Amino acid sequence: MAATTTTADKILKYLYTSRALENAVYEDNPLLALMPKTGGFTGRSLVHALTYGNSNARNAQFATAQSLAAINGAANNGVSSSTAATDSGFNRDVNFTVTRVKNYAMYTLEQELLLASRGDKSAFIQAATQLIDGTLQTLSNDMGRDLYGDSGGWLCQATTVSSTNFTVGEGITQIEVGMALVGASSKTAAIRGTTSAVPMIVTSVNRSAGTFVVDANTDSVATGDYLWIAGDRPTSAITAYSSRRKLAGMDAWNPITAPTSGDAFFGVDRSVDVTRLAGQRLDISALQPEEGYITALAALAREGGSPSHVFTSFSDEKNIKLALGSRVDAEYTQMGDIGFESIRLRGPKGTVKIYADRNAPVGYARILQLNTWELKHLGDLVNKGDAMGDGGMAREYQADRYEGRFSFYGNLLCYKPSANMVATLPT
């Protein structure tokens, strides 16, 4: 049978079922693979309610407890400054109004390929799967990186820039030949050359040296600048979370720098109780690796957390392995058709598994109670094709080819920030 778009669609649907798509996306991304996920993110936004304090209407004297419970309790569940000290008869609640972000990855198949594969489905499969697997890998790497991010979407920081030569160290894992990059002096500053914003195209990469070369540096991106894929952020300065285009990852829910007054994360000022609304942060860089992790796990347990997983870079995972020496206790975790190796470490609330992740920033560990997180999405985790049609490929009306699409719509939620920590590690 000829490899028409109809038969091609059937082949692709068989090869790329929802489960097959997820297996392809999870590969080499342990945090993304292990993160709890649910669908049903419908509507314009999701109101994520979180209680960070219980009623304080308790006293050894009945009349005092009663008076504490009566003062403006039901009416002031926002705590006005004039009554905050005495208004104790209700729980302290906040509502995070979480919106979806979008992420797309696309591929094209030439009409010529379909014709050349006529009568030979295996030839089509070989040609198509290599392209489609690569597209899925691009999407999965981006989602895996975003889970650690602050919703700003930056890839890495340039430690040195000399004309068109960039050094980014271990950030090189996020750079690919052909990427179109832009830069800014900080994570929230306007893109350099905002009016023209000429992207730099990566022409070569030296992964051993942590360097890459671009075709031109028209907008004078400089040493210390942060780098983005063009289109992943606005060209103007980022002044509010609502203008960010990427997933609200770990560094958004549990930022390395504690939120201050005026914070407006999904409509919530988290500075009123930083630990319970924005998680914990602890500098353990002066301690030996094992001692540091045990100290961090104890701090989490004190706040009611039950840490279960640690995610860190390969360099930092190596340090804890070297520190443990012959006491390394390894375990293999299976996820569908793939798996990941971890190191087991005992803390005050039980065993914690440490995973190395290519997307984890060097110098930090994400210590998580994983069941307090959820990646909420619309449709499947990875949607394919046209949701209103048959999910297949679409003909491009201005070219002799067919277009296939993968998409993600959703965002990350944290149900108990205080049970999670970002720890600063020795460098």
Domain range summary for the chain, segments of one domain joined by +: 55-90, 153-237
The residue assigned the tokens 């040493």 is: 223
pLDDT at 163 over 70: yes
Give the pLDDT band of residue 388 (cuts 50, 70, 90).
low
Among candidate residues 184, 389, 420, the one with its CA nearest the CA of residue 311: 420
Higher-confidence residue: 396 or 340? Answer: 340
Give the pLDDT band of residue 79 (cuts 50, 70, 90).
very low
pLDDT at position 81: 41
pLDDT at 141 over 80: yes
What is the average pLDDT across 53-59?
A: 79
pLDDT at 91 over 90: no
Given a contact cutoff of 8 angstroms between Cβ atoms, the answer to whether 56 and 88 are in contact is yes
pLDDT at position 83: 47
Query: How many beta carbons lie within 10 A of that of residue 131, not counting itself?
Result: 14
Residue 64's alpha-carbon distances to 31, 55, 69, in angstroms, are 49, 14, 9
Query: How many beta carbons lie within 10 A of that of residue 130, not counting itself?
Result: 10
Give the pLDDT band of residue 425 (cuts 50, 70, 90).
very high
**Planar angle of CA 233, 155, 275, nearest 5 degrees:** 85
AA identity, residue 7: T
pLDDT at position 69: 77
What is the average pLDDT across 120-143?
A: 76
pLDDT at position 241: 82
Extended beta strands in 155-261, E state: 156-157, 160-162, 165-167, 180-184, 200-206, 211-214, 226-229
Question: Could you give phi then psi for residue 391, rounded to 5 degrees?
Answer: 75, 15
pLDDT at position 20: 52
Give the pLDDT band of residue 24 (cuts 50, 70, 90).
low
DSSP string covering 237-276, please? ---SGGG--S---HHHHS-SSPP-TT--BTTB-GGGGHHH
Burial class (CB in 10 A: 0-12, 13-18, 19+), 81: exposed
208-253 pLDDT tens trace? 999 999 999 988 899 999 999 999 999 999 988 888 999 999 999 9
Percent of the chain with pLDDT over 70: 82
AA identity, residue 272: V
- Rounded mean pLDDT of the chain? 85
Antiparallel, parallel or unpaired: β 421-424 and 280-283: parallel
pLDDT at 165 over 90: yes
Among candidate residues 42, 132, 424, 399, the one with its CA nearest the CA of residue 255: 424
Q: Which residues contact 68 (CB under 8 A, 6 or more apart)?
A: 56, 57, 58, 59, 86, 88, 89
pLDDT at 345 over 50: yes
Higher-confidence residue: 41 or 120? Answer: 41
286-337 pLDDT tens trace? 999 999 999 999 999 999 999 999 999 999 999 999 988 888 888 887 766 6
Does CATH place domain 153-237 in 2.40.30?
yes
pLDDT at position 198: 76
Looking at beta carbons, which pairs linking 337-341 to residues 24 or more positions away fall under 8 Å?
337/23, 338/23, 338/26, 338/27, 338/33, 340/30, 340/33, 340/34
Q: Give the CA dihedral 369, 371, 377, 382, nearest 10 degrees.
A: 80
The residue assigned the tokens 């996820």 is: 335
169-213 pLDDT tens trace? 999 999 999 999 999 999 999 999 865 667 999 999 999 999 999
